[in-house]
Chains A and B, each alone.
Chain A
Amino acid sequence: MASAPVSGTAPESPSSARLKGLTLEEMKAMARKLRRHVITMLGAAGSGHPGGSLSAAEILTVLYFKEMRYNAADPNWPERDRFVLSKGHAAPILYAALAESGYFPVEELSTLRKLGSRLQGHADRTLTPGVEMSSGSLGQGLSFSIGVALAARLDSRPYRIYVLLGDGECQEGQVWEAAMAAAHFKLDNVVAFVDHNGLQLDGRTRDIMNIEPLSDKWRAFGWHVFEVDGHDLAELSKALEKARGVKVQPSVIIAHTVKGKGVSFMENNVEYHGKVPSGEDLERALKELA
């Protein structure tokens, strides 16, 4: 998908064209860099949600540095592919990806959650360039994506819509209302990711409210299902490539991930859903990601 835009009000920016050439190794390094940004900015903010940002680093990397067409210099370019962050508490990983993609300076990341910043605690489309949807109340992103996908069809635009959900988020009834609707409308321009890290806020997803068998559920709702290792960039890329060939039904990529991935003491640790490391822990986390 490194091809030039079909049409559009602005050309693709050179920076995004260059980034599309990222090799697997370069993407690996990028995922690491995004994780480092997440820890650094949350450390500076003193509050926020690290776990669910770290688990999604590879997903965001593949999307922003390989899969999606966009123009950071023109965030509203009508032909752009859309990324919708339904699990809005993972805003830090999105901000990291947007900054590295050129939507705003990397230095701005340190303003996260501070009064006057464009980087709100949860994603806010009125303030941050590149943020497609305001989120933070879980369960609404897939429905929003359907609206965007229906508009693409009405306007005969070829752009695609990618949406990231949490596995805990899949307990919201609205997710399944949306799942039903996307299949009903035969939206093959929608690709949903479930960041299946097995944890939510209060504990393990299987203890809090079991959502399994998750793949069977999506399949029963009319979706084409891919299951991948969500930290394997090659597998993620391959699934996205295959999803382009799926017609008359939406695709979902169940990404098996580890919450807190990349920082040993945060991995699979529910404490770090909404707790930020400080002091020595912060240093240790950054060292592990160096």
Chain B
Amino acid sequence: MPVEMSTREAYGRALVELGRTNDKVVVLDADLSRSTMTSYFAKEFPQRFFQCGLAEQNMMSIAAGLAASGKTAFASTFAVFAAGRCFDQLRMSIAQPRLNVKIVATHSGISVGEDGASHHAIEDLSLMCSLPGFTVLVPADGVEAGLAVIAAASMEGPVYIRLGRPKVCVICDVDYRFTVGKAVTMRPGKDAAIIATGIMVWEAWQAADKLAREGIECRVINMSTMKPLDEEAIVKAAAETGAIVTAEEHLEHGGLGSMVAQVVMRNRPVPMDSIALKDVYAKSGKPEELLQRYGLSARHIEEAVRGVLRRK
């Protein structure tokens, strides 16, 4: 296992695996197969791959038709186009009839980098979690991404999987178990809990590592299923640590922070803070620069933990 792999690369490989074992699997793309990595599947299973061209909305409703006819349809494009441009198609053609379409959206968040605001999907989780019946998965690394793709194929109903562009650190072990709807504790701790999703799990891990050297033990929870949310894990973390920081590569509104806050507020109010984009569009820049500039790095999580501890 390489130390670094992009989640989209893991997706491309997992799709090929699925194609070999499940002949119901069909794949659609909208002129981005060389970026979303569905090109691997297209090469091996040309009959079951549908290139839809630059027409994302059309692609989503075609996927719905395939799903209504017994296929397990994977449709891929960049996250901005999947969730944003096609929202009504996802809502009407897929969510309401609860069809078996798996939207696998790559190039999410600001770690897309230099392409800039037009390509930074920072609203997609809010949009996708708002759709009744959708399962929303945000893998933390390549290992988890592969497992999430396999899990999505083996369940019935609409799924949105959020993937990224850059190579990211592999943080899940080879024997890592992924279950839809179950948060994973990556690191134990009793002083505070950091609930993170996607690439922010690695940032959270680094923050916890730093704080541990000062004797502050943070529980790091990988919330790779954003919907349905693992409420039990959240309530447990609130009860056992008494302070929560969430971290996501997404806008603050409607994302992980607000969803966790709802659970905490209803069940076990504790001091909370959220690391997320604060109502802005980011600019062009290198991924690491942007994470620093827009407050989404380990250092920011660390500061937020200190903040909630003071309010405990």
Contacts and interface: CB of A to CB of B under 8 A. Distances in A.
A122 B290 contact: no
Interface stretch (B15-23, B137-145, B179-187, B279-287): B279-287
Interface stretch (B31-39, B222-230, B249-257): B31-39
Interface residues of B, number: 32
Interface string A64-86: 00000000000000000000000
B53 A113 contact: no
A127 B283 CA distance: 10
Contacts of B51: 202, 207-209
Interface stretch (A51-59, A94-102, A132-140, A213-221): A132-140
Interface in B243-290: 283-286, 289-290
Contact of B55 (A117, A121, A173): A173
A109 B171 CA distance: 39
Interface stretch (A3-11, A164-172, A178-186, A187-195): A164-172
Contact of A137 (B29, B81, B283, B293): B81
A134 B281 CA distance: 13
Contacts of B118: 88, 121-122, 124, 134-137
Interface string A98-128: 0000000000000001111100111010010
Given A120-B284, A200-B31, A202-B32, A48 B114 contact: yes
A47 interface: yes
A171 B53 contact: yes
A45 interface: yes
Nearest to A119: B284
Q: For the complex, would chain A's binding face be called helix, strand, loop or mixed by DSSP majority? A: loop
A116 to B, nearest CB: 8
Nearest to B115: A121
A120 B34 CA distance: 23
A201 B35 contact: yes
Given A121-B284, A122-B118, A200 B290 contact: no
B308 to A, nearest CB: 29
Contacts of B55: 171-173, 209
Contacts of B290: 115
B169 interface: no
Contacts of A207: 51
Contact of B31 (A115, A134, A208): A208
A120 B113 CA distance: 11
B55 to A, nearest CB: 5
A165 to B, nearest CB: 11
B236 interface: no
B96 interface: no
A200 B54 CA distance: 9
Given A173-B58, A202-B33, A47 B80 contact: no
B57 interface: yes
Contact of A139 (B54, B80, B113, B114): B54
B57 A173 contact: yes
B54 A122 contact: no
B117 A120 contact: yes
B117 to A, nearest CB: 7
B114 A209 contact: no
A45 B114 contact: yes
Interface in A233-284: 274
B115 A115 contact: no
B116 A120 contact: yes
Nearest to B42: A202
Nearest to A120: B116
A138 B30 CA distance: 12
Contacts of B283: 115-117, 120, 127
30 contacts: A46-B114, A48-B114, A88-B118, A113-B116, A113-B284, A115-B283, A115-B285, A115-B289, A120-B284, A121-B114, A121-B115, A122-B115, A122-B118, A122-B119, A124-B118, A135-B118, A136-B116, A137-B85, A138-B54, A168-B54, A169-B54, A171-B54, A171-B55, A172-B54, A201-B31, A202-B33, A208-B51, A209-B31, A209-B51, A209-B55
Given A136-B117, A137-B84, 12 more contacts: A48-B114, A115-B293, A116-B285, A117-B284, A121-B284, A124-B118, A137-B80, A137-B85, A168-B31, A171-B55, A173-B55, A209-B52
Interface of B: 29, 31-35, 39, 51-55, 57-58, 80-81, 84-85, 113-119, 283-286, 289-290, 293
Interface of A: 45-48, 88, 113-117, 120-122, 124, 127, 134-139, 168-169, 171-173, 200-202, 207-209, 274
**The 5 A-B residue pairs with the shortest CB-CB distance in the complex, in nearest-first order:** A136-B118, A209-B53, A115-B285, A121-B116, A171-B53
